[in-house]
Amino acid sequence: MEGKEILNKKNSLVNKHLCNFIESKFLREYHDQNGKIISQNEYAKLCGITSSTISKIKLPEGYNIPLSTIYNILRHERYSLEKFFKEFEDEKGINIPD
């Protein structure tokens, strides 16, 4: 069981860093696809997620973010998964420290 607890902690840390990365990249100011500044609620609708999901992503500790939520944000931002995860890896490395 101790191994599972360690993995859960590591997974939580990855989720935290993913959420923080998404927040810093896309969720400081909300834009529609034409670059117009919009509200968090409008942005959430355009992404196909809820405003409360955005609020969870913006928490300092992050949350257990599903890949589908990441994809919905990236689709709206016209950003590929490959580019996103490459930038994430470049910033955080391949082994996120404990």
Encode the chain (98 residues) as per-residue pLDDT tens digits. 568 888 788 888 889 999 999 999 999 999 999 999 999 999 999 999 999 999 999 999 889 999 999 999 999 999 999 999 999 999 988 776 55
Q: How far is CA 28 from the centre of its chain?
A: 12
pLDDT at 9: 83
Q: How many residues does the structure list for the chain?
A: 98
The radius of gyration computed from the CA coordinates of the chain, to the nearest angstrom, equals 14
Token pair 């944000």: residue: 73
pLDDT at 90: 92
pLDDT at 35: 93
| Domain at 1-89: CATH architecture | Orthogonal Bundle (1.10)
